[in-house]
Every structure is written in structure tokens, then in C-alpha cells.
């Protein structure tokens, strides 16, 4: 696992760690069911406090990117609840879009930027899971 922390950044270290793991999932560096390093291992590898790694794993669990198994530790397990995800994404995008609006950046530039970033992940969106309707086909 390759994690790079910018210790001079204003962004909290635990948030940088979360963002890099989410980016790793989006770019297929980490896959569903993959076990992440233990809190102690990752803290030693990156050179940060164990409590910081623990906080990052807790946030990732709360946001639906990992599950914590008592035997395995943190395991990649992306929650496919689309409505919950859209609510969280909307909340996170509001301040970014407000800043863009205040700076006079046109909507088209924002759309183009979103498309560019989204396309950089290279994979198509995961197919939607079929709902069991209880009837046989």
C-alpha cells in the first residue's frame, strides 16, 4: 500500500489518509474485500500516530468504504447505498461550488472539470445491483 502524506498541508493527516484510500478504491488499486494494513502497521509505514490511522479508518467505516472485522481488521467494503452517497457528496460539494461561484468560474468549466476528474479513474461505474422482487422469472 502506497500512501503519501503531505505534512506541510493544511488538510488534516487523517483526511489525507481517507482521501488516498478512497482514491485507491476509485482507481482499482484497492479492491472489494482487500484487507488494509493494521492500524499499527500503517502508522509505522507512513510515520504517523496510530490514533490518526484509527480515526481515518473510523471515518472510512462511517462513510461506507470499509467494514471492520474483529479478526481481519479494516476491509474494503463499499456501501452501495446510492441515496446515502449522493447526500454525502452533495454536502461535500456545496462549499466547493460556492467558492467557484464567488470566484466567477462558469458552470461549464465546473462541468468540464468534473468530467475530466471522473474520467481519470478509468473505470465505468459499477453496474447497479438487481433488487430481489421475490418473483421468479
Whether the Cβ atoms of residue 92 and residue 83 lie closer than 8 Å to each other: no
**What's the pLDDT score for residue 136?**
46
Q: CA triplet 32, 24, 120: central angle to 5 degrees? A: 115
Rounded to whole angstroms, what are the CA distances from 125 to 54, 76, 82, 103, 110? 29, 17, 12, 31, 20
DSSP one-letter code for 125: P
Are 24 and 67 contained in the same domain?
yes
What residue numbers bound the domain in which 41 lies?
Answer: 13-76
Say if 22 falls within a structural domain: yes
pLDDT digits (tens, 9 = 90+) for 28-57: 899 999 999 999 999 999 999 999 999 999
**Positions in the chain short of pLDDT 70:** 123-137
Q: What is the pLDDT of residue 135?
A: 46
Domain termination site, one of 54, 76, 98: 76
Q: What is the pLDDT of residue 110?
A: 97
- The answer to whether residues 56 and 30 belong to one domain is yes
Q: pTM for the complete prediction?
A: 0.76
Alpha carbons 37 and 21: distance in angstroms, whole number: 12
- pLDDT number for residue 33: 95
Q: Same structural domain for residues 43 and 18?
A: yes
In a domain, 114, yes or no: yes
Whole-number pLDDT of residue 123: 57
Kindly state whether residues 18 and 34 are assigned to the same domain. yes
* Together in a domain, 26 and 49: yes
The answer to whether residue 135 sits within a structural domain is: no
Q: Are residues 88 and 71 in the same domain?
A: no
Same domain, 72 and 89: no
Residue 73: its pLDDT value, please? 93
108 lies in some domain: yes
The number of domains in the chain is 2
Total residue count of the chain as it appears in this document: 137
Taking CA atoms, 113 is separated from 96, 108, 135, in Å, by: 12, 9, 43
Q: Residues 6 or more apart from 85 whose CB is under 8 A from it? A: 64, 79
Conformational region of residue 63, where left means phi above 0, alpha means psi within -120 to 50, and beta covers everything else:
alpha
Tell me how far apart the alpha carbons of residues 96 and 9 are, in angstroms, rounded to a whole number.
18
Amino acid at each position: 500500500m502506497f500512501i503519501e502524506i503531505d505534512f506541510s498541508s493544511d488538510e488534516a493527516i487523517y483526511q489525507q489518509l481517507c482521501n488516498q484510500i478512497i482514491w485507491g478504491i476509485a482507481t482499482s488499486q484497492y479492491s472489494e474485500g482487500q484487507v488494509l494494513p493494521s492500524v499499527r502497521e500503517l502508522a509505522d509505514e507512513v510515520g504517523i500516530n496510530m490514533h490518526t490511522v484509527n480515526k481515518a479508518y473510523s471515518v472510512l467505516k462511517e462513510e461506507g468504504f470499509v467494514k471492520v472485522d474483529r479478526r481481519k481488521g479494516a476491509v474494503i467494503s463499499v456501501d452501495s447505498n446510492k441515496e446515502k452517497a449522493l447526500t454525502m457528496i452533495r454536502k461535500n460539494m456545496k462549499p466547493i461550488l460556492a467558492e467557484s461561484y464567488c470566484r466567477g468560474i462558469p458552470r461549464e468549466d465546473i462541468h468540464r472539470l468534473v468530467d475530466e476528474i471522473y474520467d481519470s479513474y478509468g473505470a465505468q461505474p459499477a453496474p447497479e445491483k438487481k433488487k430481489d422482487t421475490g418473483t421468479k422469472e
